[in-house]
Chains A and B, each alone.
Chain A
């Protein structure tokens, strides 16, 4: 067996009194991530409070599904309005927590905001500024383990956005906004089904792939999406923001060209 020597003389690390010796631009990636995620947050707050979220046949993704009586007739999801007249706040607030929670607890986004917002660490081999670190072992970060439940809701939200895109597709003539909503739905579904929890649920939890060939094939497909989870996270984030902004600009009449 390997012998180890707990000699006190040997117990000290190399004393290098700088935070990092890296010479590359290690700060660039966390800075860009910080700016990207911050812009998404700022846009999200504005979009939730904005009331121009529907113009037939488009509904802005941040406000879909629209579940309040205050939603215009055509904007209501399946004509359904379970929240009555008493609900007067923006309808987007009702569903905001589901996709928001999905992204907040997503394994990729965790990496990105732990690095760019919390600097824990900002980049590899760059010393973090915190004196103490307990990771996800205790409250509040232990709550990240709830991710799979948000994944279940994210499937529903992805389904609703797909439904919105199909509604726009069957509306004639087809405008640019329709293709924007279709692209957004595809990217959202790609991001959702590439989720690490989805990978675990399909077959990741099994030890005998060979006994479950259908689940194994599903796992193989999810693994391919999962390998691009980071790219899909960014692409779907910008697509949902872009699609949402586009619909609102059309609804406000700012974008008014033919086939908008």
Chain B
């Protein structure tokens, strides 16, 4: 069953641009990315959109659909009414290259600031022995497809560009949490750098990152808040500090 849908798509380069109106055919079973591709094929051949897998696993087609960060390939047209105008814009937090394609290099710069997994001395790859219960906490965070919608929706940088140097965003808080909770990771100071260099304290746990995560990772409850509690252990709780001194606990 086909119908004609009304679309508004943000078009422009380097930030300057505007919403352009389109009327376009929609067929049963299609997703927003299909419609964007039909626009490219029929009405706007130079419309830029980043995409790859069309299966919600590559994290490329992040965009904002009716103001909400979504994956274009995972947003069914059947979730909208036929008379609804659908507005598609690029992610707001990152600079625009062209149309729906944003420059997400902020995230790659932040990724480099997280020290990689550091095993203890004398333990070589292949010698790690871990119980499933110890591994599974980190496995949740490995589901991340790096669509960067969590960082896009986070108001700390979405509404305050000036916070970008001091704040790494939810995507990297789950990376830090995964490493800090790893039984074999011995990198020092992950909690201190999480609070200091990565700006964990900026997070006011309003959970938008969790709301938009297409992999349904419990970013706030399972990564950010546990890391905040670990930071309290090292920086703000005198009883834990005393306990660590007395019992010589390190991690």
* A residues adjacent to B (C-beta < 8 A): 1-2, 4-6, 9-16, 20-24, 107, 110-111, 114-115, 120-121, 124-128, 130, 132-137, 141-142, 145-148, 196-197, 199-200, 204-205, 207-210, 216, 226-227
Contacts and interface: CB of A to CB of B under 8 A. Distances in A.
Contacts of B68: 22, 124-125
A13 B226 contact: no
Chain A interface helix/strand/loop/mixed: loop
Most chain B CB within 10 A, of A120, A127, A147, A209, is at A209
A92 B153 CA distance: 42
B204 A148 contact: no
B225 A132 contact: no
A15 B17 contact: yes
How big is the B interface, by class?
Answer: 35 or more
B201 A205 contact: no
Interface of B: 10, 12, 14-17, 19, 64, 66-69, 84, 87, 89-90, 92-97, 102-103, 105, 108-109, 111-112, 130-131, 133-134, 137, 153, 155-156, 158-161, 163, 180-183, 185, 199, 201-208, 211-212, 221, 225-226, 228-233, 235-237, 251
A128 B153 contact: no
A258 B69 CA distance: 57
Contact of A125 (B17, B69, B103, B232): B69
B108 A2 contact: yes
Contacts of B131: 209-210
A110 B69 CA distance: 23
Contacts of A132: 160
21 contacts: A4-B109, A11-B103, A13-B15, A13-B92, A13-B93, A13-B161, A14-B96, A21-B67, A124-B208, A125-B208, A134-B202, A135-B199, A135-B202, A136-B204, A145-B236, A145-B237, A196-B221, A207-B181, A207-B183, A208-B134, A210-B134
Nearest to A17: B18
Contact of A115 (B206, B228, B237): B206
Nearest to A213: B133
